[in-house]
Chains A and B, each alone.
Chain A
C-alpha cells in the first residue's frame, strides 16, 4: 500500500510541531525519517496513526484520502505502529495483548484465546520469533516485547508499518535482528517508516531518507551519504561527532567499589557483586542495555538505594550507609537518569534549581532566609558559563528544552568542589549541540583529576567518552575493557557474553 502525507501541519499553541510536511512511502521500501529529538517525527507519526488530528493537510493511502478519528480507524485502514514505548499491557499474556481490540469470542461471550494463540504461533513461525503466546508480557525481555508489538501489527494485516525509535531499548545484536526483520517485511511488500536519530542504522537499512528539522522537511538524503553529511543535515550546521580528549593522566585519588550488592524490595538482586575502581583523571563508562542494574548502581553510589551491602570507598572514606546529604558533602556530583523526576523541579525557576542542594546554609541561606541576591548572581554566572539558552534566570525549568534542562543539572552538580562525578545517561533526549557541550564538560572534569562514572546505553557515546568501559548484564559486571574494544565484542558483552580473553577487570 502506498502511503502519502500531503502538507501535514500540526500546531500546539504557538509551537508548530509539523510544518507542511510531505512524505511518500512506497510499498516494498524502508523509508527513514531522520531527525533530532523534538524535530517533530513522533508528532507526525501520531497524526498518521490517528492519535492527533492534523490542523492542515491530508493522509492518502493508495491515493484515497483518509479521515482518522482515532487509532482504530488507522488500524482498520492497514497502518500498524511499533511504538517507542511499547503499547502492551504488562500483566496480560502475549496472546491477550495481540487479540486486544479485535477479539474473537465463542459461545457465552467467552474469549477465544486459542485462536489468538494460533495466530501468535503462525506469525512467530513466519519470522522465527520464538514468542510463547502464554508468556506474561512484563516477564519478557524488551527485545521480545518489541516482537510482540510487531506481531500485534501484523495480526491486524498492516500494510504500512511505522517503527518509532525502535532501537533505543535494544542491544546491538537485537538491533541487527530487528533490521533483518524489517528487510524481510519489506521484501514481503510492506511499506515501512523507520523513525530514528541514529545515523548508523539509517545507512544500514534505509532505501530512502527524509530529514526533518524544526518540524520541516529539510531534504532527502541518499543512504550512501556519510555520517557527517547526515548529521549536518539533521542539525543544520557542521557537527563534531567525536569527542576530543587526550590520554588520561591518572591520579592517586580513586573511587573503589567492592562486592557491591543492591537488593530490590522483592528480594531481586539488582546489582550483583559489582567491583571496580575508577582513578582520578579517568572516565569509566558503564555500558549495557537499559535496565541491567546501571540505574541502581548509580543510585547506590549516591546513597539513594536502601538495601546495599559491600563497600563504596571514595578516597578511602566509606560511603555505604551514609545519607545522601553526607554523600554529597563528601564531594559527589550526580546527574540522575531522569532529569524531570529526579534532577529538577519543573515548576521552580532556573535560579531556584541551581541552589536546590545548597539550601542548608551560607552563602545561599542565612538565618533561615534565602539570600536572593546571592542566588541570582550565582544563577546568572552559571547560566552564562554553561550556555543555558533561556530568557532569564526566572524562567521555570520545565519550560526549557531537554538540552538546556540538562545543562542546568550539570551546572549545579559541577559547581561544587567535586571528588567524584557520576552522570547517568547525561545526553538522553538532548539535542546534538548540547551533547557536544556536555561531553566537553565531562572530559574537562576528568582532566581536572576527578574520577568520572558515566552510564550510557548508546555504544557510540560509550566508546567516544570512555577511558575504560564496564559492561553490565542482569546486575553483574560482564567485563571491564579498554575503549578500543571492537564494537561487536562490546555488543556480545551487552548480551551477557564475556569475551574469552578478557579478565573480569582488565584495568
Chain B
C-alpha cells in the first residue's frame, strides 16, 4: 500500500491560488505627480538666479574632483522635466495594470533631490558638500538603524516595541554617565546596552507576563524614561557637568586605502567603531533571523505562537530572549548621542528618533536589511537640513526641521506597497 491518492484529483500539491485579475493602482503615479507639481510651483514662485556649486571631493582622496558648478534654475528645470516624463511613464504603466518599476521611483527621487539642492544652493558662495551630505546622513542614521534592528527583532518575535525611543534615551543617558565616570567610551557603550535591556525587561514583564496592551506599555515606558532621565539630568548631571556629563568619545578609525576613495571614502570608511558595528549588526540580525535555529523559533513565536507551543517551544521565554537582544541593540543606538556624537547628555536629546526607527521597521517590511536601509534614508532626510543651513538655503528652518518626518510619512504611507506584519505581532500568547 503505497499510493493512497486517487487519480481523479488534480495534482494534490498544486497550490490553491484562485484566478487573479490585475488591479489598477494609481497611488504611486499620483504621488509622483504631486511631488513634480509641488517642485515646479516652488521653482516658479521662488526662482533663484545664480550657480549652484557641488563639492565632490575631500582633501584626503586619491585624486581631486573639481567643484561642479551648474546654472541652478536650468538644472532644476531639466530635472523637473525628466520627473514629469517619469510620472507620465508611471501613469502609462498603471493604466496597463502593471507595477511602476523600482528603478523609476529611485531615479525620480534622485532627480527630485538634485533639483531641490540646485535650487537651494543657487547663488550661495559656499560649496554644497556631497561628502558631508553622505557622511552626515550615516551619522544621523545610527540611532535609527540600531533602533529599527531592535524593533525588527521584537516584532518578529511578536512583541511590538513602541519603547525604542525610551531605549535610545536610556542608552544615551547611561553611556554619558558611565563614560564620564570611567573615562572610557567602551564602558559607556556597555552601559547603554545594559540600559536598553533594562527597558526591554520592563516592557517584557508587562507585555509578555502580564499581557498588558503592548502599545500602551511602550508609550508609558517612553514617558517614564523621559521623566527619569530629565530628572536625573537636572539634579545630577547639570550640577556635576564636568565629572558626570563629560564622556570621552570614540575616535574615528580610517580604513587604509578605502578611506581615500573619492566621494564615498571619507563617509563610509573613516567612521567610529559604532558605524562599522552597525553594518556587522545588520547582517548578523539578518543571518540570525533567517538562517539559524534561534531565528526560526523566534519567527515561529511571532507568527503562530500556539503552533510553536505545540512543538515544545517555550513562547514566553523565547519572546523574553528576543526582547533582551532587541533592547541591547537599541541601547547601542542610544550611545551614539553621547559617546559618538557630542560627548554629553542633553534633555530629551533623542527627539523622536525612536519613533522614526519604528517607521523604518514598517518601511523595511520587518526585514533587518531593508529596515536598516530605511533608517539610512531617514537619516539622510535629517541631515539634509544641516547641509542646507550651511549653504544658507532660503527655506525657513522650521520647514527643514519637518523634513525627516515628512519623508517618513510619505515613505511609510505611500511607498511601502504590500507588506505583512508578523501574524502574532502585538498579541500576547494566552494558553486556553
Chain A: residues with CB nearer than 8 A to chain B? 46, 49, 51-52, 70-73, 75-76, 81, 83, 86-92, 96-97, 99-103, 105, 109-111, 126-128, 130-132, 135, 139-141, 143-144, 152, 173, 176-177, 180-181, 184, 187, 263-264, 266-270, 272, 291, 293, 474-475, 492, 495-497
- Interface contact B13-A132, CB-CB below 8 Å: yes
- Interface contact B310-A51, CB-CB below 8 Å: yes
Contact with A along B1-25 (1 / 0, CB 8 A): 1111110111111111111111100
- Interface contact B18-A268, CB-CB below 8 Å: yes
- Interface contact A71-B1, CB-CB below 8 Å: no
- Interface contact B8-A492, CB-CB below 8 Å: yes
- Interface contact B8-A101, CB-CB below 8 Å: no
Partner of B308, one of A51, A100, A131, A135: A100
- Interface contact A88-B4, CB-CB below 8 Å: no
Can you name 30 A-B residue pairings with CB atoms under 8 Å?
A51-B309, A71-B311, A87-B306, A89-B308, A92-B303, A103-B293, A103-B296, A105-B293, A109-B292, A109-B294, A111-B291, A128-B3, A128-B4, A131-B13, A141-B13, A141-B15, A143-B12, A173-B6, A173-B8, A263-B23, A266-B20, A266-B418, A269-B21, A270-B18, A272-B18, A474-B16, A475-B18, A495-B8, A496-B10, A497-B8
- Interface contact B304-A89, CB-CB below 8 Å: yes
- Interface contact B311-A101, CB-CB below 8 Å: yes
With a 10 A CB-CB cut-off, give which of A52, A267, A272 has the most chain B CB atoms: A267
Name the A residues within 8 Å of B306 (CB-CB): 87
With a 10 A CB-CB cut-off, give which of B14, B309, B311, B314 has the most chain A CB atoms: B311
Determine the residue in chain B with the shortest Cβ distance to A131. Answer: B13
For residue B297, CB closer than 8 A to chain A, the reply is yes
- Interface contact B309-A141, CB-CB below 8 Å: no
Chain B: residues with CB nearer than 8 A to chain A? 1-6, 8-23, 291-294, 296-297, 299-300, 303-304, 306-314, 418, 420, 423, 431-432
Per the bound structure, the CA–CA distance linking A83 and B311 in Å amounts to 12
| A90 in contact with B296 given A141-B16, A144-B13 (CB within 8 Å) | no
Question: Chain B nearest CB: distance from A266 CB in Å?
Answer: 7
Name the B residues within 8 Å of A173 (CB-CB): 6, 8-9
Per the bound structure, the CA–CA distance linking A11 and B15 in Å amounts to 42
- Interface contact A100-B297, CB-CB below 8 Å: yes
Determine the residue in chain B with the shortest Cβ distance to A307. Answer: B23
Name the A residues within 8 Å of B12 (CB-CB): 130, 141, 143-144
Per the bound structure, the CA–CA distance linking A40 and B122 in Å amounts to 79
Partner of A272, one of B19, B303, B418: B19
- Interface contact B13-A140, CB-CB below 8 Å: yes
Name the A residues within 8 Å of B431 (CB-CB): 51
- Interface contact B308-A101, CB-CB below 8 Å: yes
Partner of A83, one of B1, B291, B310: B310
Partner of B307, one of A72, A87, A99, A140: A87
Name the B residues within 8 Å of A126 (CB-CB): 2
Per the bound structure, the CA–CA distance linking A220 and B17 in Å amounts to 44
- Interface contact B310-A49, CB-CB below 8 Å: yes
Question: Chain A nearest CB: distance from B404 CB in Å?
Answer: 31
| A140 in contact with B304 given A105-B293, A111-B293 (CB within 8 Å) | no
Question: Chain A nearest CB: distance from B372 CB in Å?
Answer: 21
Per the bound structure, the CA–CA distance linking A70 and B312 in Å amounts to 7
Determine the residue in chain B with the shortest Cβ distance to A174. Answer: B9
Name the A residues within 8 Å of B5 (CB-CB): 128, 130, 177
Determine the residue in chain B with the shortest Cβ distance to A99. Answer: B296
Per the bound structure, the CA–CA distance linking A313 and B284 in Å amounts to 60
Name the A residues within 8 Å of B8 (CB-CB): 173, 492, 495, 497
- Interface contact A269-B20, CB-CB below 8 Å: yes
Name the A residues within 8 Å of B1 (CB-CB): 180, 184, 187
- Interface contact B13-A72, CB-CB below 8 Å: no
Determine the residue in chain A with the shortest Cβ distance to B14. Answer: A141
